[in-house]
Structure 1
């Protein structure tokens, strides 16, 4: 299953869950019992938080894919960080760690370049540091918004 299909499946399952929990929350509130009303309110708040979190994740995925495609189109080739890969196609962690300093220096030299931030985020991801990868890619998304693509 592709990551996109997995995300869509999880999104659909979460949406179904949110609807069912929301319906149960309404039933709790309708009882009139103070404890049940409290549970019902909590069940209303939690699905709203879940929907917000789902939206943030899907938005991040859509925007990050868009800027990767934009960079690939600018390069007229698939994005290649030049990292050695394993037989599975995943980047070799040791190679990613070794190449990381070059990506970090590129960002320090041009902190306003969304392209360098994106490459840094992908290098973090290849090295297995998901938290920093997401932070760098979020910064790339923020910077890319201020740099609209040139019209053909």
Structure 2
């Protein structure tokens, strides 16, 4: 829940920034000189890219959350099996075992979104965000039939 609140607060701050930057770009374009129009267009590019990125990130989070709810309803959500040190760091040996099992599950059922979802969760628990994101994107694509 805390992560969702943080996400929405940051998204709202970004939207305010996009509006402010967009208005500055608009005012620069209205000036009408070659230099201000060029700067105005350049300033408008950042909010456009940011809006696109925010939209896709929000859609990704919404779809991943829907898969989580569906898997929870089926009773298939993975349990965090990673062994941690007293300081909270993940024990590398236990992580390797968990990843080996998750990868084997995914290799056994490469077209099952559930196995990809569980692999993504294992990567996320180990703080391997790039691999977690790719595995979750694969789970979403399989669930949507792509």
TM-score by length of 2: 0.89
Taking the aligned partners of 1:65 and 1:81, their CA distance within structure 2 comes to: 17
Q: In the TM superposition, what is the alpha-carbon distance from 1:93 to its structure 2 partner?
A: 4.6
The answer to whether the aligner puts 1:43 opposite 2:43 as a matched pair is yes
Q: Which runs of no fewer than 5 residues in structure 1 stay unpaired? A: 148-152
Cα RMSD over matched residues? 2.2
Hey, what does 2:24 align to over in structure 1? 24
CA distance in 1, matches of 2:102, 2:14: 36
Distance 1:23 1:31 in 2: 13
Task: Answer whether contact 1:68 1:79 (CA < 8 A) is retained.
Answer: no
The yes-or-no answer on 1:58 pairing with 2:58 is yes
Q: Where does structure 2 lack aligned partners over 5 or more consecutive residues?
A: none
C-alpha distance in structure 2 between counterparts of 1:33 and 1:127, whole Å: 53
Q: Distance in 1 between matches of 2:127 and 2:134?
A: 13
Structure 1 segments of 4 or more deviating over 6 A? none
- TM value normalised by structure 1: 0.86
Q: How far does the alpha carbon of each residue in 1:107-143 deviate from its partner, in whole angstroms, 9 at most, with x for none?
A: 1111100000001111111222110110000100111
Give me the whole-angstrom Cα distance separating, in 1, the residues matched to 2:134 and 2:108: 18
Determine the structure 2 residue equivalent to 1:14: 14
